[in-house]
């Protein structure tokens, strides 16, 4: 949920959890999640979210209670002025993350297309990591079936690219088609053509559909799988490939 009031934005996201969490655990998990999902590029240091030497957001000292943690927003590169707060609370089997009254530096149209999308993505990844992978969202698809589904999707994208434009730009065209195709399929239904044939789909670890930003993040991580032979795209994007 996103609302605006006098140039300040408020956002709310939540996820169901099976275990109870204290305010201290919520604080520590947030500090650990940012570097974990950004390969160490973004960190929390001295109550500030930093990208290398750049202070993106500066917080005041956190207020930690039994079931919540809250930081006042005091400035930073991304804030137009001090104001607002970042609050995370666990209650009634849910964790709710709320940014309220935050005045972004960027003009609203640019902020909505850029900073807001990044904020919502990493908030979602943080919440899904808190939720964990148990209980599983469904029976996992086997490696062999996943490879078969991927081969079907690659063949489909190459075939589609062959019908559009000239041959000399076919590879570039195929990459663009493949990116749009996977992001759309994962965020709409979780199923690509290969997934439909092999009866599998991609979901978040809480069984919800991927957001478009989460789908883009997962797609960007696929080359890491080819290099490491580990499903880093699922580990970092908090997703699972399940069998229907």
Residues 191-221 have pLDDT tens digits of 999 999 999 999 999 999 999 999 999 999 9
| Strand ranges for the chain from DSSP E | 2-5, 8-16, 42-45, 48-51, 54-59, 63-64, 68-75, 85-91, 94-102, 200-204, 239-243
Give percent of the chain above pLDDT 70. 98
Structure tokens at 77: 């590169």
Structure tokens at 20: 């109870």
Q: How far apart are CA 57 and CA 43, in angstroms?
A: 11
Task: Examine the fold and report which residue of 96, 131, 166 is the final residue of a domain before the chain moves on.
Answer: 131
Assess if residue 138 is contained within a domain. Answer: no
111 shares a domain with 210: no
E strand or H helix that includes residue 112 = helix 108-113
Question: Pick from 81, 118, 55: which is nearest to 45 by CA?
Answer: 55
Residue 48 belongs to domain with CATH number: 3.30.530
Check if the beta carbon of residue 51 is closer than 8 Å to that of residue 127: no
222 shares a domain with 104: no
Q: What are phi and psi of 101, to 5 degrees?
A: 65, 30
168 shares a domain with 117: no
Question: Which pTM does this prediction carry?
Answer: 0.92
148 shares a domain with 91: no
- Distance of CA 180 to CAs 187, 194, 216, Å? 11, 15, 9
Residue range of the domain that includes 58: 2-131
Judge residue 189's burial from the number of C-beta atoms within 10 Å of its C-beta, 0-12 exposed, 13-18 middle, 19 or more buried: middle
Structure tokens at 44: 């929390």
Judge residue 163's burial from the number of C-beta atoms within 10 Å of its C-beta, 0-12 exposed, 13-18 middle, 19 or more buried: exposed
**C-alpha 220 chain-centroid distance:** 12
User: For 114, which DSSP code?
Assistant: T
105 shares a domain with 73: yes
Check if the beta carbon of residue 60 is closer than 8 Å to that of residue 84: no
Q: How far apart are CA 62 and CA 87, in angstroms?
A: 9
Residues 73-117 have pLDDT tens digits of 999 999 999 999 999 999 999 999 999 999 999 999 999 999 999
3-state secondary structure at position 76:
coil
165 shares a domain with 122: no
Residues 122-167 have pLDDT tens digits of 999 999 999 999 999 999 999 999 999 999 999 999 888 887 766 6
Judge residue 118's burial from the number of C-beta atoms within 10 Å of its C-beta, 0-12 exposed, 13-18 middle, 19 or more buried: middle
Q: How high is the pLDDT of residue 51?
A: 96
Q: For the chain, how many structural domains are there in total?
A: 2
Structure tokens at 114: 């850029």
Q: Is it the case that residue 57 has pLDDT exceeding 70?
A: yes
Q: How high is the pLDDT of residue 162?
A: 80
Q: How far apart are CA 124 and CA 213, in angstroms?
A: 10
Q: How far apart are CA 157 and CA 194, in angstroms?
A: 11
């Amino acid at each position: 949920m996103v609302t605006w009031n006098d140039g300040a934005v408020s956002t709310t996201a939540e996820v169901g959890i099976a275990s109870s969490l204290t305010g201290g655990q919520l604080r520590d998990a947030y500090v650990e999640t940012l570097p974990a999902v950004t390969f160490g590029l973004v960190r929390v240091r001295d109550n500030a979210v930093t990208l290398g030497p750049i202070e993106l957001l500066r917080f005041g000292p956190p207020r930690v209670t039994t079931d919540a943690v809250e930081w006042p927003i005091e400035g930073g590169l991304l804030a137009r002025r001090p104001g607002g707060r970042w609050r995370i609370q666990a209650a009634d089997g849910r964790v709710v993350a709320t940014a309220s009254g935050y005045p972004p530096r960027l003009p609203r149209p640019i902020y909505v297309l850029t900073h807001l999308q990044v904020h919502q993505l990493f908030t979602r990844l943080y919440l899904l990591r808190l939720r964990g992978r148990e209980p599983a969202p469904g029976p996992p698809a086997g490696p062999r079936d996943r490879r078969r589904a991927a081969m079907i999707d690659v063949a489909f994208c190459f075939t589609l690219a062959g019908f559009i434009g000239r041959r000399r730009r076919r590879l570039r065209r195929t990459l663009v088609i493949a990116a749009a195709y996977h992001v759309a399929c994962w965020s709409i239904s979780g199923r690509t053509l290969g997934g439909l044939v092999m009866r599998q789909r991609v979901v978040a670890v809480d069984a919800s559909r991927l957001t478009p930003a989460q789908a883009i993040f997962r797609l960007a991580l696929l080359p890491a799988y080819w290099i490491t032979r580990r499903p880093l795209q699922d580990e970092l994007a908090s997703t699972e490939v399940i069998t229907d």
